[in-house]
Amino acid sequence: MYLISVEGGDGSGKGIATQMLADICAEEFTFTNVAVTGEPRRDHPLGQLAVEAVSTGEAGPVHEASMFAADRLDHSHAWIVPRLARGEVVISERNVHSSLVYQGIVGDLGLEEVARLNSAACVPDLCVWVDCDPEMALQRISKGALSSEISTRDADKQEYFETDELQTQIRAGYASLLGGEVRMPAPFDRGQVAGPVVNDGGKIDLRQKLQRVIRDFLYRHTRPLNVDLDTVECHLLDSALSWQRGQRTLDVVDTPPPRSNSNWLVGERPWRVMQQADTLYRKAWDSVPVQQRSDVPQNPLAHTVVSVVGTLSLLPGAEVSELRRWLGPARVVTSRHTQRMLKFLHEQSGWVRVHRPLKGADAPRSELRPDWQAYGRLGLVLWPLKETLSAWMQDNPESSWKSALNKILGRNPDADMRACADACLARLAVIGSGATDHDPPADIDGLRRWWRDGPE
């Protein structure tokens, strides 16, 4: 879902920073996969041409920038974008900012020209800028330390950039571009930059710095730049439903009505499902001791609630690790908050049943009770509108949920509201209308009717 690039001068520690970021993403977050790559691609013909272009410095910045841009364009659309669309995070050691600095600033080709050559390539969602003193960087290059590049070429061969004078210029170039002294050219000004992450200590120190950077970025739930978030979510919802069809529910849950993929509304109107869930959830929240209330959101449409309950509504039962894997990158919740939410849903609200194995090392499995499946799936459908719906109901406490959706969409919704409504319709196309043999709504007017009267 996100493209994260790692930038810095040669020997700054980009290689080990790339691997550390990959490890942190795999350990802490819920991407479907963590893919590590780098540019130029030394195992690809286009990447090899780019490497050859900088081997002596004789090709000139125009030829160098063109070779890197050709490799980057193919890399972006043939390798990176398909992975982002599946909910993966791609971490790239070097990307477009290297060309902007090396050829655009140091090579005097100009930032605008380099940006033009690369304008059809992916825009890194986040650029992590790793920095260190040029003298230390050259020592690392000569020793092969902290460099993933040195292992892919002969240790006694240096690219022409790897000199003290040029490394000083490169470091200054990164400082001016990523530090904000010069304007980042379009379209690459849409991405975020974090740094400098100063790599002047040990590995533990570097990892802690990178951990803070990636947590700060990912927990802001930034919309991805290179793929449509709603397309990613629909892919993940469909994957969860496909997987669930081959699984069995837990034997400990026998509360009617049975869970159903097609008839999940069980004859209820969506607004009434939301109204009942809102009332019961808030009543359960009021029963939580005051000193523990900060652990659980008061609003049933809060990110954590919809993430956990909605994802459980797709699964027959899951351990915490399984549940978090199915959350995906958009619905990500920390492990600690996931466990606190499950504890509340089990002990206070009774929405979730926890099955604890009698023996063995198996972790407890949680299953959403059948009578709350409708709310869970409804929360997933309304995900693009959940903040707007919550805000409107908070500002209009005497109003009914029945009129809420119509009120926030209005007669002539603006572009943002129309996009959110379209995203809800896309989710309904995957999850279904909630009633067997009833098609999901196909337009905004149909969405309004579905919300008010149920599936047609």
- pLDDT tens, 132-141? 876 776 676 6
What pLDDT does 347 receive? 87
What pLDDT is stored for residue 161 in this prediction? 56
Q: What is the DSSP secondary-structure string of 343-363?
A: HHIIIII--EEEE--SSSSPP
CB 25 within 8 A of CB 214: yes
* Least reliable range by pLDDT among 11-20, 34-43, 162-171, 345-354: 162-171
Instruction: Give the pLDDT band of residue 371 (cuts 50, 70, 90).
Output: confident
Residues 106 and 17 sit within 8 Å (Cβ to Cβ) = no
Q: Would you give the distance in Å from CA 180 to the centre of its chain?
A: 25
pLDDT given for residue 12 in this prediction = 84
pLDDT value at position 38?
Answer: 96
Among 37-46, 175-184, 245-254, the range scoring the smallest mean pLDDT is 245-254
The token pair at 450 is 């579905």
Which helix (H) or strand (E) segment holds residue 302: the answer is: none
Residue-level pLDDT at 137: 66
pTM of the entire predicted model: 0.83
Which residue, 344, 88, 439, is CA-closest to 235?
A: 88
- The predicted structure's pLDDT at residue 295: 82
Which of the following CATH numbers is that of domain 2-227: 3.30.1300.10, 3.40.50.1820, 3.40.640.10, 3.40.50.300?
3.40.50.300
Confidence at residue 183, expressed as pLDDT on a 0 to 100 scale = 96
Q: Please give the Cα distance from 260 to 99 (Å, whole number).
A: 53
Q: Tell me the angle at which helices 229-244 and 415-431 cross, rounded to the nearest 10 degrees.
A: 20
Can you give the residue ranges of every domain in the chain?
2-227, 230-453
* Mean pLDDT lowest among 193-197, 291-295, 376-380, 389-393: 291-295
Residue 149: closest CA among 41, 71, 36: 41
